[in-house]
Amino acid sequence: MASIFKRGGRGAKGGWYIDYYERPGLRRRVYAGRDYEAAKALARELERKALLRREGILDERAERWAEAESRPLADHLADYAAALRAKGDVPDHVDLTLARIRRILDLAGMGRISDLAPSRVQVAVDELRRQGLSVGTCNGYLRAVKAFSRWLWRDGRARDYALAPLAASRPPTRAASGGRSPMPKFARYSTRPRRADR
């Protein structure tokens, strides 16, 4: 049974708190606000969920996924930045990665984890390509957003690695460019001496 109380007794100022057992031996305390009736309703809901969890009817992973889905991607992106910094990534790399992810998310109109779809990301990357960015730079954008998607999955925030099917683009080949080399003529020849000349 959950207990509802105020710190300092019933006459104390401030809000109500709820103590309940999530499972045997694990006691939780939750702030429930200033309304006693709302606190009672919340206590009943917490007890009901704890019972369903103990009986194996409610899956904790599904609850975590639902909680993560309710938060905007911008919040998850802030957590991802903190994880990159904690891992020891250079600040310039973190800033560049976040800027690229934000640009892809904005172009694709994605705001929640469930919005991460390969087709939407591919359209956003194609839009960057049409804006004049090189294939290599576009691949950098794709790598950044794929790493973010993989982190969401590994961190238990997403059910799956949604962007796994996406692959990096390749620069145009000689056949794709009508038989001409896509590189300027001077860049095709090495200036290094041959092995016999060394």
Nearest to 106 by CA among 145, 153, 61: 145
pLDDT value, residue 189: 45
pLDDT value, residue 182: 55
pLDDT tens-digit profile, the chain (198 residues) = 688 888 777 677 788 888 888 777 778 888 888 888 998 898 888 888 877 777 776 667 777 777 888 899 999 999 999 999 999 999 999 999 999 999 999 999 999 988 999 999 999 999 999 999 999 999 999 999 999 999 999 998 888 888 888 888 777 665 555 555 555 544 444 455 555 544
70-154 CATH choice from 1.10.10, 3.40.50, 1.20.950, 1.10.150 = 1.10.150
| Total Cβ atoms within 10 A of residue 62 | 10
Angle (CA) 33-72-164 rounded to 5° is 140
pLDDT value, residue 160: 87
pLDDT value, residue 188: 44
- CA distances (Å), origin 93, targets 7, 14, 85, 98, 99: 47, 45, 10, 9, 10
CB hemisphere CA count around 67 (13 angstroms):
8
pLDDT value, residue 79: 94
pLDDT value, residue 54: 74
Residue ranges per structural domain of the chain: 3-58, 70-154
How far is C-alpha 130 from the chain's CA centre?
26
Both tokens assigned to 39: 């606190």
